């Protein structure tokens, strides 16, 4: 036993299987260059079918009006805004992984950041559909844009949280997209250089913006990445904060809650990581990338899930306590009668939320469970169901019985087109993800090479011999200084 410890004993290698640089390029480019499998086609066609159903659903709603949904005079928002907040939440993991973890120098992010960022972009695209299409007169949606116009000029209302959403979401989408694309540039150039077919050479040639890999390019690339990471970091926190303002600044009991901003951000990261797990567990299997997205990665992400899940749990209990402690009868009614009471019309949804988000992630205190792929996959689905219900609980169970008992609503359940719209965005999300996994490298080649030297299997092996070197030998070797 030697005294020298260069490597953490607790962490395994982040790239398994003694890779060299060439092997990495081969492994990651292979799915892009090979013909798509039957599995890919099946998945892609199912997603596309869902997307088309979604388009039909939205078309019906635009032609016939929002009455195509079961919202009513009391419940103005239902599945639409629930889905919006759910998707925005999912879109949080990507930027957190790429920006915040970059600033914190977390090496493990390189295995998952590309796919997570892509997921973020697609999730935000899906999220954006809801506030747009939920409008009664969507053809006037451009009214939310503050620009000098000939309509008066009429200006937007800067007091409205819904307008803040417009800015928050569009900024977040833009920065995430730029960040993701900037990271893609060297890899696209790699694909261009490897291309043997004309169209592929042309496509990746155009897409890589003339990247040559010169030192100047790399230097600018690094600088840009850092700037974008700096910009994206506050956005990770601000976007869901602003989304939460839609509710927190209102006067509806159950919405009007000051704890919402941090609670929403934690919930967003929670659901985002769950979605990353769902996608990556499938991706690594289908594309044979188990050596890059390792159990180590899954373990780390499960730790994030239990952390954020527990924060969310504390937030639930805190708001419940505050509803009672505040002694505001309306607030307390919203929590006690509309949610906790299992015999109330929507009591069941509160307990699904509690079960999925607070209780079930506690299983990850056990290391064996964190490193179990099947358990992780099941849990990731459960968490996203739970997080969907969190938004449903907040939105619907608050507003359906608020101040005036005369206006308490009849039972709200979605129509075919409401469900269709939601399925459509799932279709959109997976259609994009399938196209992405076919035409882009799902792991950042350049970045994974960056950590290979320190976190690769072969490095760990090499360090082992170094560490096992006896003290005498070490002293002897360093004595000549």
What is the spatial distance between Cα 24 and Cα 15, in angstroms, rounded to a whole number? Answer: 10
- What are the structure tokens assigned to 60, written together? 């019906």
Going by C-alpha positions, the residue among 349, 261, 275 that lies closest to residue 78 is: 349
Smallest distance, Å, CB 177 to another protein? Answer: 24
Of the pair 66, 375, the CB lying nearest another protein is at: 66
Point out which residues pair with 15 in neighbouring strands.
456
What is the spatial distance between Cα 307 and Cα 63, in angstroms, rounded to a whole number? Answer: 45
What is the spatial distance between Cα 82 and Cα 267, in angstroms, rounded to a whole number? Answer: 14
What is the spatial distance between Cα 373 and Cα 394, in angstroms, rounded to a whole number? Answer: 31
| CA–centroid distance for 131 within its chain | 18
Of the pair 331, 457, the CB lying nearest another protein is at: 331
Of the pair 8, 406, the CB lying nearest another protein is at: 406
Smallest distance, Å, CB 150 to another protein? Answer: 14
Smallest distance, Å, CB 416 to another protein? Answer: 6
What is the spatial distance between Cα 71 and Cα 154, in angstroms, rounded to a whole number? Answer: 29
Smallest distance, Å, CB 276 to another protein? Answer: 31
User: Quick one: 304 exposed, middle or buried, by C-beta within 10 A (0-12, 13-18, 19+)?
Assistant: buried
Helix residue ranges per DSSP H, 144-259: 161-194, 198-207, 215-248
The position carrying tokens 């509806």 is 252
Of the pair 81, 300, the CB lying nearest another protein is at: 81
Are residues 331 and 398 in contact, defined by beta-carbon separation less than 8 angstroms?
no
Q: Rule CB under 8 A: which residues touch another protein?
A: 60, 63-68, 70-74, 76-77, 131, 134-138, 140-141, 143-144, 154-157, 159-163, 166, 246, 249-252, 326-331, 333, 343-345, 399, 402-411, 415-417
Smallest distance, Å, CB 66 to another protein? Answer: 6
Smallest distance, Å, CB 329 to another protein? Answer: 5
Of the pair 344, 360, the CB lying nearest another protein is at: 344
User: Quick one: 157 exposed, middle or buried, by C-beta within 10 A (0-12, 13-18, 19+)?
Assistant: exposed
Of the pair 148, 405, the CB lying nearest another protein is at: 405
- What are the structure tokens assigned to 298, written together? 């899954």
What is the spatial distance between Cα 26 and Cα 30, in angstroms, rounded to a whole number? Answer: 6
Smallest distance, Å, CB 246 to another protein? Answer: 8
End-to-end Cα, the chain, rounded Å: 25
What is the spatial distance between Cα 85 and Cα 246, in angstroms, rounded to a whole number? Answer: 10
153 preceded by cis ω (within 30°)?
yes
Of the pair 96, 396, the CB lying nearest another protein is at: 396
Cα dihedral across residues 393, 395, 400, 401: positive or negative: positive
Of the pair 46, 156, the CB lying nearest another protein is at: 156
Of the pair 12, 347, the CB lying nearest another protein is at: 347
Of the pair 233, 415, the CB lying nearest another protein is at: 415
- DSSP tag of 293: S
Of the pair 136, 230, the CB lying nearest another protein is at: 136
What is the spatial distance between Cα 450 and Cα 459, in angstroms, rounded to a whole number? Answer: 13
Going by C-alpha positions, the residue among 132, 34, 55, 48 that lies closest to residue 432 is: 48
Going by C-alpha positions, the residue among 77, 435, 430, 33 that lies closest to residue 199 is: 33
């Amino acid at each position: 036993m030697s005294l020298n410890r260069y490597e953490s004993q607790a962490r395994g290698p982040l790239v398994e299987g003694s890779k060299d640089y060439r092997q990495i390029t081969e492994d990651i480019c292979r799915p892009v260059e090979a013909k798509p499998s039957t599995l890919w086609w099946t998945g892609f066609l199912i997603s596309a079918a869902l997307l088309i159903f979604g388009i039909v659903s939205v078309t019906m709603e635009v032609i016939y009006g929002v009455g195509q949904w079961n919202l009513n005079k009391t419940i103005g928002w239902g599945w639409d805004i629930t889905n919006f907040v759910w998707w925005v939440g999912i879109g949080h993991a990507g930027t957190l992984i790429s920006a915040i973890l970059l600033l914190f120098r977390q090496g493990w992010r390189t295995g998952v950041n590309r796919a997570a960022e892509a997921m973020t972009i697609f999730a935000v695209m899906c999220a954006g559909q809801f506030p747009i299409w939920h409008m009664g007169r969507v053809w006037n949606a451009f009214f939310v844009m503050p620009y000098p116009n000939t309509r008066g000029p009429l200006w937007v209302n800067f007091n409205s949280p819904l307008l803040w959403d417009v800015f928050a979401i569009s900024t977040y989408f833009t920065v995430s997209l730029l960040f993701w694309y900037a990271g893609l540039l060297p890899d696209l150039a790699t694909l261009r250089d490897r291309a043997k077919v004309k169209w592929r050479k042309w496509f990746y040639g155009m897409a890589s913006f003339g990247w040559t890999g010169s030192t100047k390019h790399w230097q600018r690339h690094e600088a840009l990445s850092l700037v974008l990471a700096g910009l994206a970091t506050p956005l990770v926190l601000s976007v869901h904060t602003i989304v939460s303002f839609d509710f927190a600044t209102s006067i509806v009991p159950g919405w009007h809650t000051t704890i919402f901003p941090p609670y929403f951000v934690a919930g967003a990261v929670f659901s985002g990581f769950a979605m990353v797990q769902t996608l990556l567990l499938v991706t690594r299997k289908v594309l044979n990338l188990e050596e890059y997205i390792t159990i180590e990665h899954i373990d780390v992400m499960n730790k994030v899930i239990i952390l954020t899940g527990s924060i969310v749990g504390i937030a639930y209990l805190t708001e419940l306590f505050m509803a009672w402690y505040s002694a505001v009868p309306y607030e307390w009614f919203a929590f006690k009668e509309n949610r906790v009471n299992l015999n109330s019309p929507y009591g069941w949804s509160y307990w699904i939320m509690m079960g999925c988000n607070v209780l079930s992630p506690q299983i990850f205190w056990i290391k064996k469970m964190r490193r179990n792929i099947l358990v992780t996959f099941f849990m990731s689905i459960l968490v996203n169901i739970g997080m969907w219900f969190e938004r449903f609980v907040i939105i619907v169970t608050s507003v359906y019985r608020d101040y005036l008992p005369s206006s308490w609503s009849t039972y709200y359940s979605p129509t075919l087109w409401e469900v269709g719209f939601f399925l459509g965005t799932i279709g959109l999300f997976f259609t994009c993800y399938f196209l992405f996994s076919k035409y882009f490298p799902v792991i950042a080649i350049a970045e994974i090479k960056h950590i290979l030297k320190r976190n690769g299997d072969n490095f760990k092996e090499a360090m082992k011999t170094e560490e096992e070197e006896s003290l005498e030998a070490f002293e002897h070797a360093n004595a000549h200084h």
